[in-house]
Chain A
Amino acid sequence: MIRESYLNAATLALLVAIPVWAMSADEPFTITLMTRAVVFAIAAVGLNIALGLGGLVSLGHAVFFGLGGYAMGILAHHAQTYTAVTEWPFLIEGTKSMPVIWLVAVVLSSLAALVIGILSLRTAGVYFIMITLAFGQMFFFFAISWAEYGGEDGLSIYVRNGFPGLNTLDPIQFYGLCLALLCLVLAFAWRLGGSPFGLALNAARQVPVRVETVGLDPVRLKLVAFVVSGAITGLAGALFADLNRFVSPTMFSWQTSGEIMIFIIIGGVGRLFGPVVGALVFVALEHWLGGLSDFWHIYLGLLLLVIVLFGRGGLIGMICGREKVHD
């Protein structure tokens, strides 16, 4: 058994080494693939707070991913067409600035998570899964029918949005930006896990009645976790749209929700680096197996089966064993 901290460090080292190699070998596509994995990982770190810490099996995180995507798409679309997003009640103009877009993405997805959370957390178990799925589908069909922003075809953004001091069109610079954000959300998730809030949330997942008996509200703890979780996934959505310079209703689809969850299950539910390992493995399989056969999902399914049946802690659980308890 390898210590989990070593595995985490090795994963981080890979995240740095592969793109550096790709840059020197002049393989920009590899950098793009890595960026895809890193952005997926951010989305999954978000979901892992709800799922791993809070035990909330949300099949609706595509809502936040999509909102982040459309926040970028809509703002950038108006900026590139020199039109206003709205002139009433006050003028809102489009923007090509990443920090502003991120802020809008995070605020929008937090608000959506708050509303969806308040309604969904009245239920539990299978009903919670179904109601979050239903919200996802609502947003999906809304996006499809929103002709003003491309409907089913989505929106293309011609030039990647800007970040002060960086040339975001250079793959390695954009990758570095995404990796920095991943490190930030990982640090946040790590701190959260050991914090008073994390401790209470952890207990609310395991024994809500105990949390209630010490005078705390387990549902409110889970709601806050759901909002934080949605905000991070929303940020990832904005990055994903910028990576592809394209947004479409697919970002809102239930397959997207499923994929974000699959990253976590592959890597290890509740493990800090579970989302990172999962997203890397997923993107690698998608690339290599997808190149061999259009039916690569069969192999993904087999991998998932093996992991769920034999390694409850995902790949990290198989390699490192049970999670070490915090001191």
Chain B
Amino acid sequence: MTDAVLQTKGITKSFGALRASRDISIDLKPGEIHAIIGPNGAGKSTLIGQICGTLKPDAGSVHLLGQDVTQEPTRSRARAGLGRTFQISALAMEDTVLQNAVLGALGAAGKPWRFFGNALKDKALRETAEEALERVGLQDQARMRTAELSHGQRRQLEVAVALTLKPKALVMDEPMAGMGSEGSKILTGFLDKLRQEAPILLVEHDMDAVFSLADRISVLVYGEVIATGTVDEIRANTAVKEAYLGDEA
């Protein structure tokens, strides 16, 4: 447990009478992909919100690289090395693909206070941005307006922006959502290699992707983790079958 990159300890969150997170303790170890699955309304987004800092837990704590970051805002967690991709793309749609990637590089370098000099001509920023775009295969779209990208390409750009931060841990909220089977296959291959660089907490509905990628899976039902284990353990778990997998497993 001590070597976990990212860890939650007993986090609990209620919205009125709804208990969206009940005493959740999960961790993310170096080199692994830890998938969070669960039916709609199980509290996956609430959990991610607390891990990334958009929501504050009522009780419990969040630890990043051994530091308690429960009271830290999102931006501090990002600076400490937490990368995130969104379920619904959160990109500057009016800007170009490259501009979005440069924004990430700018944040990682922590220097947004220069009023002069073209951001896109800054060598260091541009290299970081272009390298990230190339890794997700968007180098040819760099000059396109983000709004003109296909849905799948926007998901790739989300990943690229997260990569510009050189993250120590990644939280990905349904990166496969709405991607064609071809795109999702390519992204699966990419994430497979990426885990060595930064472990990934993966929330995903695409069961093929989850079962082929995950080192461990946690199953979230009604705000509670009912099981954590390897793919085989989860497949064999009767409680999980009843609660969630049903005939899919």
What are the 3 A-B residue pairs with the smallest beta carbon separation, nearest first? A214-B107, A215-B78, A200-B112
Chain B CB within 8 A of A284 CB: no
Chain B CB within 8 A of A257 CB: no
Cβ contacts under 8 Å, B94 to chain A: 202, 206, 325
> How far apart are the CA atoms of A188 and B116 in the complex, in Å?
8
Which of A15-23, A115-123, A191-199, A298-306 faces chain B?
A191-199
Cβ contacts under 8 Å, B143 to chain A: 325, 327
Known: A203-B95, A213-B78, A216-B112. A194 touches B103 (CB 8 A): no
Q: Once the chains bind, are B119 and A199 in contact (CB under 8 Å)? A: yes
Chain B CB within 8 A of A217 CB: yes
> How far apart are the CA atoms of A124 and B174 in the complex, in Å?
29
Chain B CB within 8 A of A207 CB: yes
Known: A210-B103, A214-B78, A217-B75. A196 touches B90 (CB 8 A): no
Chain B CB within 8 A of A93 CB: no
Cβ contacts under 8 Å, A217 to chain B: 75
Q: Once the chains bind, are B73 and A196 in contact (CB under 8 Å)? A: no
Cβ contacts under 8 Å, A188 to chain B: 115
Known: A200-B106, A212-B75, A214-B164. A195 touches B91 (CB 8 A): no
Chain A CB within 8 A of B207 CB: no
> How far apart are the CA atoms of A291 and B99 in the complex, in Å?
48
Among A204-244, those with CB < 8 Å from B are 206-207, 209-217, 221, 224
Q: Once the chains bind, are B92 and A210 in contact (CB under 8 Å)? A: yes
Q: Once the chains bind, are A214 and B106 in contact (CB under 8 Å)? A: yes
Q: Once the chains bind, are A195 and B116 in contact (CB under 8 Å)? A: yes
Q: Once the chains bind, are A215 and B118 in contact (CB under 8 Å)? A: no
5 contacting pairs across A/B (C-beta < 8 A): A191-B116, A195-B116, A209-B74, A326-B118, A327-B143
> How far apart are the CA atoms of A264 and B62 in the complex, in Å?
46
Known: A199-B106, A214-B161. A221 touches B112 (CB 8 A): yes
Cβ contacts under 8 Å, A212 to chain B: 73-75, 78
Cβ contacts under 8 Å, A202 to chain B: 92, 94-95, 99
Q: Once the chains bind, are B113 and A199 in contact (CB under 8 Å)? A: no
The listed residue (B73, B108, B113, B145) touching A214 by CB distance below 8 A is B108
Chain A CB within 8 A of B120 CB: yes
The listed residue (A197, A206, A207, A209) touching B112 by CB distance below 8 A is A197
> How far apart are the CA atoms of A42 and B94 in the complex, in Å?
26
Secondary structure class of chain A's binding surface, majority of residues: helix
Q: Once the chains bind, are B107 and A207 in contact (CB under 8 Å)? A: no
> How far apart are the CA atoms of A211 and B161 in the complex, in Å?
11
> How far apart are the CA atoms of A107 and B109 in the complex, in Å?
30
Q: What distance in Å separates the Cβ of B62 from its nearest Cβ neighbour in chain A?
A: 16
Can you add 11 more A-B contacts, CB < 8 Å, to A196-B111, A209-B54, A215-B76? A196-B106, A196-B117, A202-B95, A210-B91, A210-B92, A211-B107, A214-B78, A214-B103, A216-B112, A217-B75, A326-B96
> How far apart are the CA atoms of A278 and B56 in the complex, in Å?
46
Q: What distance in Å separates the Cβ of A114 from its nearest Cβ neighbour in chain B?
A: 15
> How far apart are the CA atoms of A211 and B102 in the complex, in Å?
11
Q: Once the chains bind, are B90 and A194 in contact (CB under 8 Å)? A: no
Q: Once the chains bind, are A194 and B106 in contact (CB under 8 Å)? A: no
> How far apart are the CA atoms of A29 and B79 in the complex, in Å?
58
Among B99-154, those with CB < 8 Å from A are 99-100, 102-104, 106-108, 110-120, 122, 125, 143, 145
Cβ contacts under 8 Å, A199 to chain B: 95, 99, 102-103, 106, 112, 119-120
Known: A200-B106, A210-B91. A215 touches B114 (CB 8 A): no
Q: Once the chains bind, are B113 and A197 in contact (CB under 8 Å)? A: yes
Contact string against B for A residues 315-327, beta-carbon threshold 8 Å, 1 for contact and 0 otherwise: 0000000000111
Cβ contacts under 8 Å, A215 to chain B: 75-76, 78-79, 107-108, 110, 165
The listed residue (A198, A200, A207, A221) touching B90 by CB distance below 8 A is A207
Q: Once the chains bind, are B122 and A196 in contact (CB under 8 Å)? A: yes
Chain A CB within 8 A of B84 CB: yes
Q: What distance in Å separates the Cβ of B124 from its nearest Cβ neighbour in chain A?
A: 11
Q: Once the chains bind, are B112 and A326 in contact (CB under 8 Å)? A: no
> How far apart are the CA atoms of A211 and B95 in the complex, in Å?
13
> How far apart are the CA atoms of A182 and B180 in the complex, in Å?
52
Cβ contacts under 8 Å, B114 to chain A: 195-197
Q: Across the interface, name the chain B residue whose C-beta is closest to A228.
A: B115
> How far apart are the CA atoms of A188 and B118 in the complex, in Å?
12
Cβ contacts under 8 Å, A194 to chain B: 118-120
Cβ contacts under 8 Å, B115 to chain A: 188, 191-192, 195, 197-198
Q: Across the interface, name the chain A residue whose C-beta is closest to B80.
A: A215
Q: What distance in Å separates the Cβ of A215 from its nearest Cβ neighbour in chain B?
A: 4
The listed residue (A209, A221, A327) touching B120 by CB distance below 8 A is A327
Cβ contacts under 8 Å, B122 to chain A: 196
Q: Once the chains bind, are B92 and A195 in contact (CB under 8 Å)? A: no
Q: Once the chains bind, are B106 and A206 in contact (CB under 8 Å)? A: no
Q: What distance in Å separates the Cβ of A288 from its nearest Cβ neighbour in chain B?
A: 36
Among B157-177, those with CB < 8 Å from A are 161, 164-165
Cβ contacts under 8 Å, B119 to chain A: 194-196, 198-199
